[in-house]
A = this chain, B = another copy of it.
Amino acid sequence: MLNHFFSVKDCPDTMGWIYEALKLKNNPYEYKGLGINKTLGLIFFNASLRTRLSTIKAAQNLGMETITFDVNKDGWQLETTHGGVMDGNHVEHIREAAAVMGGYCDILGVRAFPTFLSKREDYLEKYLRGFQEYAGVPIVNLESATLHPLQSFADLMTIEQHKKKKRPKVVMSWAPHIKALPQAVPNSFSQWMQYYDADFHIVHPKGMELDTKFTKNAKLSHNQDNAFKEADFIYVKNWSSYHNYGDIQKNRKEWMITLEKLQSTAQAKLMHCLPVRRNVVIADNAMDSQHSIIHDQAYNRVFATQLVLKKMLVS
């Protein structure tokens, strides 16, 4: 039985899970009895489209009930620090809120983005860790300040489905954006790729290095053209700076992904976790080309999540 699902480190057998999730995809309702009388609570501190819908669908496929709770809209702000006098905007402490929601639900999924006010605070993951500590039930990471493991799991499923050689070249490329985005998706993808047999490269402008705790032995470079050569998969993602925390490096339009760039690869498949700003991050001609397997990635989210829930339900 799986306790928490916070990162790839909670997955004891990456390849086994990938195969098992792809099997679920072929027969989504096989375990519909497993979730009977079980409730999944979905706790959102931030907006969500794919995660919200795919997680509900995954739970429904297993016969679970779901309760969705948007903390800041349906409820009130939660305090995460300890020992303070709560005479400000925070109406309830995460200790109580997590314990109560854990009492009502069998599993809780939690989404809590970084605030970009403090790198140290963000990387402490106080919301996810607070739920893990106080809820008393398994916690699923629905994208935390630093990681998005359900996305990465679905990404690896998608690569496994589309790969044409045993050890593909996978390049994660930084791309421009107009806002400071979290490092959660690239951190998480880098971490999962350590458990997958591939020639894994990361290419980005200087200054956009990720935390080496996540990238480890990935091949880092700064020239997109060179990195794309012979690539089988191009995973496109913007992230803001980790070292100059939250900086977005404006005027980097030349890093946008275009069809022309993809044509210099080994007919690479184009990946992105969505949402994507067209003609900012990826050009229309690449998005709408045969290279894209972006919809497959999104669709696989259902079965990645379903497998994680299944592992939690099996006692």
Interface residues of A (CB under 8 A from B): 28-29, 32, 37, 39, 41, 44, 47-50, 52-54, 56-57, 60-61, 65, 67, 69-70, 73-76, 79, 82-87, 90-93, 95-97, 99-101, 103-105, 178, 274-280, 284, 287, 294-295, 298-299, 302
Contact = CB atoms under 8 A, between A and B. Distances in A.
Contacts of A99: 295, 298
A53 B295 contact: no
Contact of A39 (B60, B74, B75): B60
Contact of A279 (B57, B86, B92, B97): B86
Contacts of A44: 74
A87, A90, A100, A280: which has the most chain B beta carbons within 10 Å? A100
Contacts of A54: 104
A275 B83 contact: no
Nearest to A101: B53
B85 A279 contact: yes
A39 B67 contact: no
A76 B53 contact: no
Given A83-B284, A85-B280, A302 B96 contact: no
A67 B40 CA distance: 14
B60 A56 contact: no
A87 B178 contact: yes
Given A53-B105, A87-B277, 15 more contacts: A29-B37, A47-B75, A47-B76, A48-B74, A49-B74, A53-B104, A73-B73, A76-B275, A79-B278, A85-B279, A87-B178, A90-B277, A93-B278, A100-B299, A103-B295
A39 B65 contact: no
Contacts of A82: 284
A50 B104 CA distance: 9
B74 A104 contact: no
A37 B97 CA distance: 32
A70 B76 contact: no
Contacts of A86: 277-280
A73, A104, A298: which has the most chain B beta carbons within 10 Å? A104
Contacts of A104: 53-54, 57, 299, 302
A299 B60 contact: no
A302 B39 CA distance: 13
Nearest to A84: B279
A85 to B, nearest CB: 4
Contacts of A69: 49, 52-53
A37 B274 CA distance: 26
A275 B52 CA distance: 26
